[in-house]
Amino acid sequence: MRVAVADDSVLMRRGVVEAIRGAGHEVIAEVGDARELLAAVAARAPDVAVVDIRMPPTHTTEGLDAAHAIRANHPDVAVLVLSQYVEAAYALRLIEDSPGRVGYLIKDRVLDESVLIDALARVVDGQTLVDPTIVAQLLGKLRHDDPLERLTTREREVLALLAEGMSNRAIAAQLFVAERTVETHIRSLFDKLGLADDPEHHRRVLAVVAYLRG
């Protein structure tokens, strides 16, 4: 896997780069702001770009804008946004803005290299990714006549993994069941929640996350 890394903090950048190299992948560019990232992506065509959400000049959400630009201009390049915000709004914005193959990961994950590498692999593979911490927050939200109460335990597990952006195959592997079983569960829970299923993976994740956020 060829990876480009963008983060204005040298410490963080080093950490990510070393984690990636440690797993045997190639870091083809290491930059400090969005402009340089876009140039590197255009020049070197990586498989995936890892972007900090907060970069110069305004230090707010430049990473999301960069992700949108990369996904629009280089559809083959996946983007993983690293953020210190456990903030569903940003994850939602990322998924809404960009047509798939994006992921939103909390920065602490840098410390879990396996999670980081796995996330990179998943977005390269075509999945959409939402950090489990955010999904936990979404599921933990208190709701009036909680519709989630109507789901069975299995269905709740499937819902959680769906929100994290896993494909049916990945969910099946995670839960050690057949893919067909997963499909049944999905149909059932979508029915119970009143959601319309969408064959397109990216839009399905978006629908679930948006529903959970309310």
Partner 1 sequence: MNALLRVLAALILTVFAVSCLPLVWQVPNQYTITARAPLAGTVTVMAGVAALIAGLVSAFLQPRWSSPALLAAAVAAWLAPAYATAAGIPAGLSAVASGTALLAPAISAHVAVSLPDGRVSGKQRRRALLLAYLVSLAFALLRVVAYDPFRDIACWSSCRPNPLAVVSWPEAGTLATAGALVTGSVVIVALTRWRRPEPSAVSRLAVIASGVLAAGLGLTAIGAVRAGGDPARALPAVSLVVSGTGIAVAGATVLAAAVGVSLRACRLRALVAVPEDNRIEAHLVDALRDPGVRIAYRVGGRLVDSEGGPAELLPVPGDRDRRHTRVVRAAREIALIEHRGDVDLTRELGPALRVALENEALRVESHVALAELRASRTRIVAASDARRRVLERDLHDGVQQALIALAWRLQTAGRAAAARGEGDRAQALGDALREARAALEELREVAHGIHPAVLANEGLGAALRSLALSAPIALSVEGTMPRLADAAESALHVFVASAVSVLAHQGVEGAHVALSAEGGRALVRLTPSREVAVRLDPIVADRLGALGGEVGADAMRAWVPMDHPPVARA
Q: Which residues bind partner 1 (CB under 8 A)?
A: 9, 11-12, 15, 54, 59-61, 84-90, 93, 107-108, 110-111, 137-138, 140-144, 146, 213-214
Half-sphere exposure of 173 (CA within 13 A, CB side): 5
Task: Report in angstroms how near the CB of residue 58 gets to partner 1 at its nearest.
Answer: 9
Local structure of 173: helix, strand or coil? helix
Could you tell me the strand order of the sheet in which 48-52 lies? 26-31, 2-6, 48-52, 78-83, 102-106, 129-130
**Neighbouring residues of 34: CB distance < 8 A, sequence distance ≥ 6:** 6, 51, 55, 62, 63, 65, 66, 69
Q: Which is nearer to partner 1, 109 or 204 (CB)?
A: 109
Task: Report in angstroms how near the CB of residue 104 gets to partner 1 at its nearest.
Answer: 13
Task: Report in angstroms how near the CB of residue 75 gets to partner 1 at its nearest.
Answer: 26
Residue 180, amino acid: R
**Neighbouring residues of 213: CB distance < 8 A, sequence distance ≥ 6:** 88, 89, 92, 138, 141
Task: Report in angstroms how near the CB of residue 142 gets to partner 1 at its nearest.
Answer: 4
Q: Which is nearer to partner 1, 36 or 113 (CB)?
A: 113
Task: Report in angstroms how near the CB of residue 193 gets to partner 1 at its nearest.
Answer: 15
- Tokens 């709740």 correspond to what residue? 156
Q: Which is nearer to partner 1, 79 or 212 (CB)?
A: 212
Q: Which is nearer to partner 1, 54 or 68 (CB)?
A: 54
Task: Report in angstroms how near the CB of residue 94 gets to partner 1 at its nearest.
Answer: 12
Q: Which is nearer to partner 1, 15 or 165 (CB)?
A: 15
Q: Which is nearer to partner 1, 60 or 73 (CB)?
A: 60
How far, CA to CA in Å, does 96 sit from each of 93, 111, 128, 133, 209?
5, 28, 11, 19, 11
**β strands within the chain, DSSP E:** 2-6, 26-31, 48-52, 78-83, 102-106, 129-130
